[in-house]
Amino acid sequence: MPYTENPSLGKFEGNYSQWLAEVLYAGPALNDEWSPPHDGYVDWYGLIDGRRHSWIVHEDNDGFYSYTEYSNKDEANNAWASLVQNLEKEYEECAQ
């Protein structure tokens, strides 16, 4: 995986993986994604499986990205299922 020697500040601040940044901007390598059903909120989440690692990525309302890296796909998929379940419950409660 290519790494940048000096990652620049910006919306993907602190990311050392050029590949992960490219996937986020290109989009087709996403395994799954979730965003709230309400208009006006970005709060986007994505699951990305790579060859050796998987990531759950979050884009906040200001367009900044953060991510959690997982060393295996099962761990990432379990975390993803739990995250989506909690997010859907949270947004359902807000809608009431």
Taking the C-alpha atoms of residue 66 and residue 74, their distance in angstroms, rounded to an integer, is 21
Q: Would you list the domain boundaries of the chain?
A: 18-91
Query: Does position 65 have pLDDT exceeding 70, yes or no?
Result: yes
* pLDDT tens-place string over residues 29-56: 778 888 877 766 678 899 988 888 888 9
Q: What is the mean pLDDT of residues 74-79?
A: 95
CA angle (84, 85, 86) in 5-degree steps: 90
55: left (phi over 0), alpha (psi -120 to 50) or beta: beta
For the segment 6-36, what is each residue's pLDDT rounded down to a tens digit? Answer: 454 456 666 666 767 776 666 557 788 888 7
1 confidence band (pLDDT: 50, 70, 90) = very low
With contact defined as beta carbons under 8 Å apart, do 29 and 70 qualify? no
